[in-house]
Structure 1
């Protein structure tokens, strides 16, 4: 097999829903019976049913990426992350959701948008799909239009970090948010190739659930 043949392919196995042992405000836990064919047989698989998310690698005119410091209760840690949010509105354009999250979390608008990459962060335990955007040509959101942040976002800190330094922080184990690390490294690779790796914002996204 050549490298030209290495690509992910959507090809779901026959399955039936057995149970939904937990229904949450954002995500559900589901249990399916899956037919893997003669080799794998019939198996039961439990996983998180997730609406998906968008992440924004926002670069300012100096080439700095905007990182946010936010508390994440499941891991009990303050993490530095790119602006991000759930796709919890059925049918919403993910690009629109990404622009809203950038404005709400970083107080920035962007005139230039591209797709950096698409991720399945934990495909063994969740159907969450994540699209990571590159946002450039940033301008501040007017003071009277800024979002009032609450809960974990109330004391959020926004810091511009040179892209190369952010990539080094990721490789040094000082950043841990998976989508942020992937986005920062993809942006560093993209800039080194004169942005030939970028895709249009309306590029197909087969793994998006809604």
Structure 2
């Protein structure tokens, strides 16, 4: 801790800066169905060589779908790595080459909860676990909801076959997050962002087609 005055960032400085330290070697420790487990030899600014292991992930989108009564459409899904059945927003992988982010989340909304929406905005962008997983997630807000059929040929498999669709008021979700009862990162960040945006009259939200430069940098820097 320095003896001087604290460093206080200005609003313009509150930004994550794209950066890639040199990678002098990379080994795939394991190939998976969704992600690869890699080990990189990374050269630090002081000249040291360090090894970092991480999952290389395709990224994902999620959606807080809010109806006219301010209830959120949710699913309950088993997640084996954490041994819990989690309350989650509709979400899915960005694993279709060249698919638009908004088109991907609209597809997931129809597949998982049989809904479409007339209004779309970006709520929050995040790296889910930046110390060990290279996963970028964009969480959208969808309003003006209506029923929609699942896309032709879509069949729920694995955990999704046991998934159910539920609803909860946005305010109750905020209370449950703050009480430590809900843990899915897209749900936690999404409902808190939605609640904050609601308190500001929805005015600070980005359009649905807003750029996602952090993800673009991640994809470019890790492409092999």
Provide TM-score, normalisation by structure 2.
0.88
In structure 2, the partner of 1:194 is 201
In structure 2, the partner of 1:62 is 69
1:23 pairs with 2:31: yes
In structure 1, the partner of 2:54 is 47
Is the Cα–Cα contact under 8 Å of residues 28 and 48 in structure 1 kept in the other structure? Answer: yes
Partner secondary structure for residue 154 of structure 1: helix
Provide TM-score, normalisation by structure 1.
0.94
- Structural RMSD (CA): 1.8
Unaligned runs of 5+ in 1: none
In structure 2, the partner of 1:169 is 176
Is the Cα–Cα contact under 8 Å of residues 102 and 108 in structure 1 kept in the other structure? Answer: yes
Equivalent residue pairs, number? 209
Note the C-alpha offset of 1:149: 2.1
Unaligned runs of 5+ in 2: 1-7
1:127 pairs with 2:129: no
Q: How does 1:12-161 map to 2 (within 5 A)?
A: 12-38=20-46, 41-142=48-149, 147-161=154-168
Separation of aligned partners in 2, 1:12 and 1:71:
35
